[in-house]
Homo-oligomer: A and B are copies of this chain.
Amino acid sequence: MFGLIPKEEKFFQLFKQMTENTIEGALALKDMLDNFENPAASQRKIKDIEHNGDSLTHEIIQKLNKTFVTPFDREDIYALSSALDDILDLIDASAQRIIMYNVETIPHEAKSLGFIILQSCQVVDKAVAMLGKQSNEHIFEACVEINALENEADRVSREAISRLFDEEKDPIQLIKWKEIFETLEKATDKCEDAANILESVVVKNA
């Protein structure tokens, strides 16, 4: 069994709130990409969710500053909350670029990436829920799943950019879409960063 004693259950609750908020952001991004009905409204909604994430991060830091005994190392609590915050920042950055670049339609690869981001956020949420409760093996399995999703996002984004270089003759359009694909892919990189921190927390406390 996982060797951490949940001395301060509140930290686990705050992390869980963060990952649930991240899922909210990923759902709003997926809806923006799939339906593209009112992208400006979608982007504002994602920005609000991102602000909510900032408040939760701030609450964790404040709590850390006032708590003597923490469920795992202070620096790891700090690192995990930053990593979770980064996921939402990239979801927000993707939505911002879609608005900023005045794009007119959403190519199918961007929709696929939106779906992979949502799946990654869901597995991160699942892994965070296991902290202090489930065996190391289950957390490792979730981390492997997050890695596989990142590889898949990498492949989709690479193929999308490859197609762009084959088909897009307008270099300015190419620059825009290359960056949107890369930003979407980076959101899954940040899920992988969070998975790496979870893995290292588990390893340290083994």
Contact = CB atoms under 8 A, between A and B. Distances in A.
Interface of A: 61, 64-66, 74-75, 78-79, 82, 96, 100-102, 136, 140, 158, 161-162, 165, 171-172, 174-176, 178, 196, 199-200, 202-204, 206
A165 B100 contact: yes
B65 A206 contact: yes
Contact of A100 (B158, B175, B204, B206): B158
Contact of A171 (B61, B102, B136, B172): B172
B165 A203 contact: no
A204 B162 contact: no
Contacts of A162: 100
Contact of A203 (B64, B102, B172): B64
Contacts of A202: 65
B65 A136 contact: yes
Contacts of A140: 61, 65
Given A61-B199, A165-B176, 11 more contacts: A61-B203, A66-B206, A74-B200, A75-B204, A78-B199, A78-B204, A100-B161, A100-B162, A101-B165, A171-B171, A171-B175
A102 to B, nearest CB: 8
Given A158-B100, A162-B100, A175-B178, A75 B206 contact: no
Nearest to A143: B61
B174 A175 contact: yes
